Structure 1
Amino acid sequence: MASELAVGLRSWRARRRVSQLELAVRAGTTQRHVSFIESGRSVPGRDMVIRLAESLQVPLRDRNQLLVAGGYAPAYEETPYDAPSLGAIRAALSGILEGHRPSPAVVVDRRGDVVLANDSFNALVAGVAPYLLDAPVSVPRLFLHPDGLAGRIVNFREWAWHVIDGLTREAALVPNLESDELIAELVKLIPPRPETGPDHLGFAVPLRVRSANGELRLITTLTRFGTAIDVTVSELRMEAFLPADEPTARALRELDHTMLQRVEV
């Protein structure tokens, strides 16, 4: 019977749609060795587990689980976000978010919960039901919940399915029960998926939001840490909402100016 480690490695390889031969080439070993590991006939050393996991782009949290399943100690620390040792990371993220103003930007964890947000993002979500802003604040829920931004989003159905599709892709890459539960919850809140024709280009459309300064047309960009060796840092990602046209850029500047005036008062 294959070990938990063997089953885990085989599962990740299948999820990444990589053949044993391709994995062997990536990890610097042989297909025969990979086959023996996956069948439980060979027990890989700690270094080989890490090489195979890295070759399959297994997230650091899951790499630790594979190591533990193989009888080894976890290799990657999981430092609390507010720990003193992550002070430089927090300062860097704050600076990046501030640099994006007047565009809304937010840093979220692996669940899509807010870790850090700039004032422009707070202005964008101002007016949503207060309970949606109680920690942990879920960004997908903020956008799709009827008590959140849903009523202000002009192209809500298309945008909602863009969000759901993104969450589904993430869940396929990194399966976890929390993501599945969030997707199931949100799908119940949105209209059925719109029918598509031959000219359909997907649901990656600009987010169109009504604001006090007119309609905002926003495009999103995602940024991740590519070389993190701490579980917490590796799971952080920044999402920025950038203006798709000049009227939106102007409206964001006006909103930011109004917000600054309120703070000064």
Structure 2
Amino acid sequence: MTTLIEATQPVGTLLRRWRERRRLSQLDLASRAEVSARHVSFLETGRSRPTRAMLLKLSEQLEIPLRERNSLLLAGGYAPAYPEHQLSDVPMAAVADAIAAILGAHLPAPAVVVDRHWNMIDGNSAVATFTEGCALHLLEPPVNVLRLSLHPEGMAPRIVNLGQWRSHLLHRLDHQIATTGDPFLAALADELSTYPGADAPTDHDKDALVVPLRFATPGGELAFLSTTTVFGTPMDVTVAELAIETFYPADAPTAAALAEGVR
């Protein structure tokens, strides 16, 4: 199944916006794509009509997300190149099985699968460590994990190093917005910036090599390190936009508490 994306801007305008977002000159892009700067200029101004192959080549050099590559092709008068399937669709069986295996193997530590907007697609049972006590309206699908993390009725009151963790999440979000130009993410960033915590100390664990998540539970404080896993060489829009966020114990007491099933 291919998602049809309405192209509302001329293809040349879209190319120019992506080039400027990547902070490249026309000469820079031309050099990477092995064409002349004059040709890039003609494509952006509409004096030349790009071929399908040229749009795909420029998209690759500009590292345009697959969803937006389809938009670019539509704007140029071509059919989308990348399909978009649901995880429940037959062609996605191997991907769905891999996700289920990762989530299950990661127990007893928490792990979640999120889409491009940080909405939770799936998670293992240990995620309850984080969601217990959160307001029900934050747990209604689609659950946005950034909103859940930083909302004053979500995880935020129990995040010991809230200032540091908040800064870390907002920095990641800002980078994603700069990379994709996604208006939904920009609106989400505006919303999150209004939540309490901006004045919280950010110098917790100055000597840490990575930013930990320190989380208070009835059984004591837990410390986690997080990693992000994405699928390599995706050729499907959905697959390209999935990420698995896994949390690992940052110290022996946390590992022991998880093994004992303490929340």
TM-score by length of 2: 0.89
Counterpart contact for 1:16–1:56, Cα < 8 Å? yes
CA–CA distance in 2 between the matches of 1:187 and 1:226?
Answer: 32
What 5-or-longer segments of structure 2 have no aligned partner?
A: 1-8
2:248 pairs with 1:242? yes
Q: Secondary structure at the match of 1:184?
A: helix
1:106 is matched with 112
Question: CA offset at residue 22 of structure 1?
Answer: 2.8
Q: Secondary structure at the match of 2:260?
A: helix
Question: CA offset at residue 140 of structure 1?
Answer: 0.4
1:70 is matched with 76
CA–CA distance in 2 between the matches of 1:48 and 1:136?
Answer: 37
Identity of aligned residues (%): 45
Question: CA offset at residue 196 of structure 1?
Answer: 7.8
Counterpart contact for 1:128–1:148, Cα < 8 Å? yes
Counterpart contact for 2:164–2:201, Cα < 8 Å? no
**Which of 3, 7, 20 lines up with 2:13 in the alignment?**
7
TM-score by length of 1: 0.88
CA–CA distance in 2 between the matches of 1:143 and 1:79?
Answer: 28
1:1-265 mapped onto 2 (5 Å cutoff): 4-192=10-198, 205-255=211-261
Q: Secondary structure at the match of 1:143?
A: helix
Counterpart contact for 2:167–2:202, Cα < 8 Å? no
The alignment of Structure 1 onto Structure 2 pairs a total of residues equal to 253
Question: CA offset at residue 204 of structure 1?
Answer: 5.9
Counterpart contact for 2:18–2:62, Cα < 8 Å? yes
Task: Say what the alpha-carbon RMSD is for the aligned residues.
Answer: 2.2
Cα distance change, pair 235–196 in 1 and its aligned pair in 2 (3 A) = closer
Cα distance change, pair 203–156 in 1 and its aligned pair in 2 (3 A) = farther
Output one character per residue of 1:107-148: Cα deviation in whole Å (capped at 9) or x when no partner: 100110011101112333222112211100110011111111
What 5-or-longer segments of structure 1 have no aligned partner?
A: 260-265
CA–CA distance in 1 between the matches of 2:128 and 2:14?
Answer: 41
CA–CA distance in 2 between the matches of 1:204 and 1:178?
Answer: 28
CA–CA distance in 2 between the matches of 1:119 and 1:211?
Answer: 16
CA–CA distance in 2 between the matches of 1:204 and 1:64?
Answer: 36
Cα distance change, pair 202–76 in 1 and its aligned pair in 2 (3 A) = farther
Output one character per residue of 1:25-50: Cα deviation in whole Å (capped at 9) or x when no partner: 32232222212212222111000000
